[in-house]
Structure 1
Amino acid sequence: MYNLLIVLVILCICMSLRTLFFSHKLKGKQISFDNFLFLAFAYCVLMIGFGLIYLLLEIKGLNIIIDHGAQLSGSYFHKLYTTLYLSAVTLFSVGFGDVVPIGIGRVIVIIEALIGYTIPAAFVVKSVLDYDQATIKK
């Protein structure tokens, strides 16, 4: 059951990234409120998706997170909060060190950090290219 949920979450993350980079056209403008909301939505999907992956792996019994020097424990909501926190800190920065991945969690964190760092650059490049193509067609 957990494996199926993990696959579904990964599918949602991939579809979000696909939509971000292969949408028909965002708008004819380089910077618009719609494009900003689209990027923010993609970041939210990534943050929640990776947080759920961490949570599902923890629930499955793989200890992939150390919280303040100890194994992640507590209620379901505490684990959910901690995994979403780890995901957000990883996606938007290098991390603070209070919640640390171990084992396979390190690989997942590296993938999330790589995606988090490349999205803004790729989004700007895509917006500029779309803008250039729209200006050429006019």
Structure 2
Amino acid sequence: MALLIILLFICLCIGMSLRMLFIPHKIKGKRVSFENFIFLAFVYLTVLIGFGLIYIILELYGYVVLIEGGQNMVGSFLNRLETGLYFSAITLFSVGYGDISPIGIGRLIAVLEALIGYTIPAAFVARAVFDMENKH
């Protein structure tokens, strides 16, 4: 039960962060500003950490979602956390080195994260263009 509550909270945080891309008055100005850059960085950071925690929580509860070098993740919690956050970043930014692979439900989660990684910049640019057109 605690796992479900934690996962729902993480998904809520990710959803709220992504939702902010679609609020018209949040992105200001006609060009990229430092404020907009920080805003975009925090959206990415929220999604990256959120998915990293999802991978780790599932691993801690006995679900094998990531394999490294053909073997299940092993080691201390900090080692697993580092691996989960690393895999999350590599997946979100669509680099995909191949040193860590998702399996089982991890594949679906990784696909969802990669899709979000592709749509964040598009939503950010679309929102900025939409706001510029509304101001004219």
Verify same fold: TM over 0.5. yes
AA at the equivalent of 1:17: L
Question: How far off is 1:26 after superposition?
Answer: 1.7
* Greater RCO (CA < 8 Å, at least 6 residues apart): 2
Question: How far off is 1:19 after superposition?
Answer: 1.4
Q: What is the CA–CA distance in structure 1 between the aligned matches of 2:44 and 2:72, rounded to whole Å?
A: 27
8 Å Cα contact 2:69-2:99 kept in structure 1: yes
For 1:20-31, list aligned pairs within 5 A: 20-31=21-32
8 Å Cα contact 2:24-2:131 kept in structure 1: no
> Which residue of 1 is the match for residue 108 of structure 2?
107
> Which residue of 2 is the match for residue 130 of structure 1?
131
**Over the residues paired in the alignment, what is the CA RMSD in angstroms?**
1.0
State TM-score, norm by structure 1. 0.94
- Give % identity: 54
State TM-score, norm by structure 2. 0.95
Unaligned runs of 5+ in 2: none
Stretches (4+) displaced over 3 A:
none
AA at the equivalent of 2:119: T
Unaligned runs of 5+ in 1: none
AA at the equivalent of 1:61: G
**Count of aligned pairs:** 135
